[in-house]
């Protein structure tokens, strides 16, 4: 069976999509991918798949995407490319990623005059998330990008899909409650759980400790932005240092452009310069090594509809690494952490501060919570358990 996968990035660093491709290929499906190529050499990240790249400068792509709700040239481009992609490869299914790709995919299928099932994979609560992006903020940017339009467009774009893949039961239920015309059996839940067969989860290496003092290390991994709770975290960390707390803070991930000046100012201050270590980027295969030197892991995301659409993959990775987690009270991650007693939840910065102190003072509790999380991943939250949900989507009898 020939499955076409459409994603509007370069594919190589899209962990969720690569994980799904690996599962489908393992089950004998022939995989074709349509994605961007930003004028650089991209080695195909999975062997024995067929990748077609739309060569375009990244800046042009960003401009077209920015204008999508004003001049839909981005959608026209994808509709044309998807039509050719289907016809050239004789596809039997089309699996597209993210809400805003749905109509282009639907129109591309219609232009082929073929009846191909359309699978829509929602990585996030896009109508909410797009409003938090810096490129949609400010009067002129908002006027042109019109992010509020996505709330109005969401029911139309969901209606194009034969099946809708979501990150969690919580997000599925949100959509079912909003749009009563959607049937529950149209949804498939595929959380961002780890695929334990992948090489990055076999790594046993340990990174060099970048700190002068042999204090416990608090670790945050992922995008660094205000909406991710990073500045709340830094304020708590400053308080801990001023109180004489023996602790270091390791952050790894790209910083949102708008937040970079303030972030740099804080982490480079005299108070924190030897107690914070920042790394802009690592390969995913390096992550377990840095996890290995860490003692407590953070997920301080602001509570909002996006962060309540599912559990971030980093939570599962922290758990697999047997590290206790301190997390904000976003419902899916709170439910997971409390169910398995693998960390502490906070509702405000005072509770955040107290949670860190509690775990710093109790090594045995850190170890117990970390082991609880690791066992939960091995037994209940890995792709071996959930992958059948994805496979069923592409069985002819299911659609």
Question: Is pLDDT at 132 greater than 70 in this prediction?
Answer: yes
What pLDDT digit, counting tens, does each position of 274-311 carry? 899 999 988 888 899 999 999 999 999 998 888 888 89
Of 151, 197, 160, 196, nearest to 178 by C-alpha is 151
Place of tokens 């205000």: 226
What pLDDT digit, counting tens, does each position of 233-249 carry? 999 999 999 999 999 99
Contact indicator for 294, 219 with CB cutoff of 8 Å: yes
pTM: predicted TM-score of the whole model, two decimal places: 0.88
Dist. CA 243–CA 334, nearest whole Å: 28
Q: Please return the burial class of 209, using the count of CB atoms within 10 Å of its CB with bins 0-12, 13-18 and 19+.
A: middle
What CATH class does 2-193+383-398 carry? alpha beta
Run of H or E including 287: helix 287-292
Token output for 105: 């995919």
Confidence of residue 85 (pLDDT cuts 50, 70, 90): very high
Cα atoms in the Cβ-side hemisphere of radius 13 Å centred on 123: 17
Residue-level pLDDT at 43: 77
Dist. CA 241–CA 183, nearest whole Å: 52
SS3 231: helix
Confidence of residue 397 (pLDDT cuts 50, 70, 90): very low
Tell me what the pLDDT averaged over the chain comes to: 92
What pLDDT digit, counting tens, does each position of 43-69 carry? 788 888 999 999 999 999 999 999 999
Residues 6+ positions from 92 with CB-CB distance below 8 Å = 1, 2, 3, 116
Contact indicator for 95, 6 with CB cutoff of 8 Å: yes
The CA–CA distances, whole Å, from 88 to 77, 83, 102, 167 equal 17, 9, 20, 31
Dist. CA 17–CA 235, nearest whole Å: 35
DSSP at 69: T
What pLDDT digit, counting tens, does each position of 201-237 carry? 666 677 889 898 889 999 999 999 898 999 999 999 9
Run of H or E including 33: strand 30-37
Contact indicator for 51, 128 with CB cutoff of 8 Å: no
Q: What DSSP assignment string belongs to 41-56?
A: ----SSTT-EEEEEE-
Dist. CA 336–CA 311, nearest whole Å: 8
Residues 6+ positions from 216 with CB-CB distance below 8 Å = 246, 247, 248, 295, 296, 360
Integer-rounded Cα Rg, in Å, for the chain is 22
Identical fold for domains 2-193+383-398 and 199-380, yes or no, is yes
Q: Tell the CATH topology of 199-380.
A: Rossmann fold (3.40.50)
Residue ranges of the domains in the chain? Answer: 2-193+383-398, 199-380
What pLDDT digit, counting tens, does each position of 156-203 carry? 999 999 999 999 998 999 999 999 999 999 999 999 998 887 766 666
């Amino acid at each position: 069976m020939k499955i076409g996968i459409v994603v509007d990035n370069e594919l190589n660093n899209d962990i969720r999509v690569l994980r799904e491709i690996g599962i489908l290929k393992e089950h004998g499906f022939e995989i074709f991918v349509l994605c961007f190529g930003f004028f650089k050499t991209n080695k195909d990240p999975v062997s024995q798949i067929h990748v077609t790249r739309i060569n375009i400068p990244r800046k042009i792509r960003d401009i077209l995407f920015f204008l999508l709700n004003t001049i839909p040239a981005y959608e026209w481009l994808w509709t044309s490319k998807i039509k050719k992609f289907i016809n050239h490869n004789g596809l039997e299914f089309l699996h597209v990623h993210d809400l805003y790709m749905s109509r282009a995919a639907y129109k591309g299928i219609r232009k082929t005059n073929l009846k191909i099932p359309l699978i829509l994979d929602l990585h996030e609560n896009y109508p909410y998330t797009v409003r938090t992006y810096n490129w949609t903020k400010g009067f002129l940017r908002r006027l042109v990008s019109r992010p509020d339009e996505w709330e109005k467009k969401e029911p139309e774009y969901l209606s194009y899909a034969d099946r809708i893949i979501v990150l969690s039961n919580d997000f599925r239920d949100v959509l079912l409650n909003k749009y009563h015309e959607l049937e529950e059996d149209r949804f498939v839940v595929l959380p961002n759980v780890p695929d334990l067969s992948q090489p990055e989860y076999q790594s046993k290496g340990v990174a060099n400790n970048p700190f002068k003092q042999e204090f416990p290390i608090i670790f945050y991994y992922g995008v660094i932005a205000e909406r991710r709770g990073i500045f709340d975290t830094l304020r708590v960390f400053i308080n801990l240092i001023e109180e004489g707390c023996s602790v270091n803070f390791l952050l790894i991930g790209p910083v949102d452009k708008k937040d970079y000046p303030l972030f740099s100012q804080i982490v480079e201050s005299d108070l924190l310069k030897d107690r914070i270590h920042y790394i802009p980027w690592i390969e995913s295969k390096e992550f377990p090594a840095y996890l290995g030197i860490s003692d407590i892991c953070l997920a301080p995301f602001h509570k909002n509809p996006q962060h309540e659409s599912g559990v971030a993959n980093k939570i599962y990775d922290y758990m697999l690494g047997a590290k206790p987690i301190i997390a904000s009270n976003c419902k899916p991650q709170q439910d997971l952490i409390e169910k398995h007693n693998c960390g502490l939840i906070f509702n405000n910065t005072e509770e955040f501060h107290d949670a860190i102190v509690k775990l710093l003072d109790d090594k045995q509790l850190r170890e117990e919570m970390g082991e609880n999380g690791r066992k939960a991943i091995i037994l209940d939250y890995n792709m071996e358990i959930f992958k059948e949900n994805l496979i069923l989507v592409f069985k002819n009898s299911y659609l």
